[in-house]
C-alpha cells in the first residue's frame, strides 16, 4: 500500500528559484469497487525550497500504490499531501491522467502553495 516513508530528499543545488517536473508514465493502482486495475500518468511539478525529491525514491513510492484500491480523486490528493509533507516546496502541482474506462478518461489536478 502507499508508503510515504519511501520518499527521500536531497539538498537543492542552488538557492535561486527553479522548476522541477517528473512524469511517471507507468502508474497503476486498483479500483476499490470492482478490483480492476487502473492505469495512468502522474506528473509532479514543483519549485523546491531547499529540498528536492530523490528520483529513485519517488519511483518506489509510486510503485507502492500498485495493489492499493483508491479513487482517482483520493490518490491525487494523497500524493500531493505526501510530497508536500516530505519536502515543503514553495509551490507544487500534482496531475494524474487516467486511461479510459467505458469511453471516459479523466485528469485530476491538485496544488500546494502559489505558483510564482
Catalytically active residues, by annotation: 31, 38
* Interface residue list for a copy of itself (CB under 8 A): 10, 12-14, 16-26, 28, 36-37, 39, 52, 55-56, 58-59, 62-63, 66-67, 71-74, 76-77, 99-111
Euclidean distance between CA atoms 61 and 64, whole angstroms = 5
Q: Which is nearer to a copy of itself, 5 or 62 (CB)?
A: 62
Rounded to a whole number of angstroms, the minimum distance from the CB of residue 1 to a copy of itself is 14
Half-sphere exposure of 116 (CA within 13 A, CB side): 12
| 92, 44 Cβ separation under 8 angstroms | yes
Contacts of 50 (CB under 8 A, 6+ apart): 11, 12
Minimum CB distance to a copy of itself smaller for 5 or for 21: 21
Amino acid at each position: 500500500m502507499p508508503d510515504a516513508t519511501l520518499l527521500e530528499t536531497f539538498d537543492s543545488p542552488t538557492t535561486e528559484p527553479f522548476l522541477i517536473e517528473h512524469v511517471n508514465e507507468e502508474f497503476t493502482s486498483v479500483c476499490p469497487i470492482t478490483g480492476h486495475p487502473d492505469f495512468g500518468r502522474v506528473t509532479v511539478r514543483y519549485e523546491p525550497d531547499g529540498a528536492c525529491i530523490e528520483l529513485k525514491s519517488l519511483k518506489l513510492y509510486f510503485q507502492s500504490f500498485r495493489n492499493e484500491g483508491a479513487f482517482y480523486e483520493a490518490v491525487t490528493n494523497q500524493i500531493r499531501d505526501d510530497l508536500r509533507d516530505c519536502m515543503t516546496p514553495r509551490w507544487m502541482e500534482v496531475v494524474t491522467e487516467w486511461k479510459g474506462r467505458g469511453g471516459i478518461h479523466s485528469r485530476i489536478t491538485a496544488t500546494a502553495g502559489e505558483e510564482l
